[in-house]
Amino acid sequence: YSGPGVAATPWGLASRQQVRCLNRACGLVGYPNVGKSTLFNAFVGSTVAAAENFPFCTIEPNVVKVGVPDARLAALAETCGAQKVVPGHVEIRDIAGIIKGASTGAGMGNAFLSQIRGVQVVFHVVRCFSDPSIVHVEDPVNIDPVKEYESILEELIIADLEVASRRLPMLRKKATTTREVEKLLPSYEAVLRALEEGHPARSALVGTAGATSGDDFLSQLITAKPVVVLANVSPEDAAKGNAFAERLSSHIAASEAALAEAAARKASGGDAAPDLACRRCVVVSAPLEAEVAQLDFRKEYLESYGLGETQRALPRILAESQQLLGLVSYLTVGVEEARAWFVPKGARAAEAAGAIHSDFVKNFEQAEIWSHADILRLGGKGACRKAGLVRQKGKDYEVQDGDVIEFRIRGGRS
């Protein structure tokens, strides 16, 4: 798309219910004063969220749309002479801090839980720095990141258990008359058992994501959501981490391996360890990222802490969010702009066209597909066309990440 005056409209169809309704949102969660709002400001690129030195300085969630860096866009813009680059966007929400007892209403518990249910991916921020000048709900000096991580997880599991225990009797009754609910009931029962045993709901959902991604019940369970744990360290530890972050990372890896092994034994075959949603612990320095976001001399500043631009955590976290949100990006390039459009993985060409304008879905005729690698190699879209490297596809073509697309719409082209 390169024409003026056409606003992007919702692209999701009913079959993409969860991705659409949750608005591609990632939520920053964790204890108060662990760096959530500072990290949010780094995503924004300016000081928007209050990052004060007292608990619960965030009451209502701060929300921002953040562009996901994509090196392919800049290369396409340069090759095709586009005037600007427009990345795809995800939503980041800075949510009130949670403390022990939140599942029973302590602190901002009830508000927190309702807010976090509305996101699709959880960024769990854990304090991995010791600083007596920054308030902590337990001990600002003798930091225990594993205890902090497990305390939050325990509260979320308790909250989910309450929801599941309340909903399962109704779902069991509904399963007697509704085929779709009957089909998913074993998954629901497995989730309830996992929560009762003190495990996150996602540990019971290995291998079932395709069948449950739009499910109303499961989408309300916080521990069923994909998780990235962010170990927040001081700027001095951004390059190599520290003992706190290493301990947290080892604990998460061991916990996930144990759950994966148990899930593999239950799965058919039992020899392939499933990939659970909480994959890894990412070391990030919120104050460093917030500072870098506002600087013109980023390269020199990063080098002073032993980092290069490609080693920054924030772009990697954003790329991870796209994957965990279940999104692929297709690209459009013209004289005005090179742009990335996010659509759900598995989206067909007609649905993808709706990301540009909803009318494009019903007026879709054909999609022309380029490989971005071919465009860069041959020096433009015209050269690819002359070389016979443009593919014509119909509405049922499954869009691939990195496809460069032009849509033929009744009455014109995109």
pLDDT of residue 308: 85
Q: What is the pTM of this model?
A: 0.81
What's the pLDDT score for residue 65? 87
Share of the chain above pLDDT 90, in %: 50
State the pLDDT at residue 58: 41
Identify the pLDDT of residue 10: 28
The reported pLDDT for the residue numbered 280 is: 74
pLDDT of the residue at 360 = 92
Q: What is the pLDDT of residue 392?
A: 96
Tens-place pLDDT, residues 147-174: 999 999 998 999 999 999 999 999 999 9
Using 70 as the pLDDT threshold, list the residues of the chain that sit under it: 1-23, 46-61, 99-112, 133-141, 206-214, 262-279, 412-414
> What is the average pLDDT value for the chain, to the nearest integer?
81
Q: Can you give the chain as a three-state secondary structure string?
A: CCCCCCCCCCCCCHHHHHHHHCCCEEEEECCCCCCHHHHHHHHHCCCCCCCCCCCCCCCCCEEEEEECCCHHHHHHHHHHCCCEEECCEEEEEECCCCCCCHHHCCCCHHHHHHHHCCCCEEEEEEECCCCCCCCCCCCCCCCCHHHHHHHHHHHHHHHHHHHHHHHHHHHHHHHCCCHHHHHHHHHHHHHHHHHHCCCCHHHHCCCCHHHHCCCHHHHCCHHHCCEEEEEECCHHHCCCCCHHHHHHHHHHHHHHHHHHHHHHHHCCCCCCCCCCCCCCEEEECHHHHHHHCCCCCHHHHHHCCCCCHHHCHHHHHHHHHHHHCCEEEEEEECCCEEEEEEEECCCEHHHHHCCCCCHHHHCEEEEEEEEHHHHHHHCCHHHHHHCCCCEEECCCCECCCCEEEEEEECCEEC
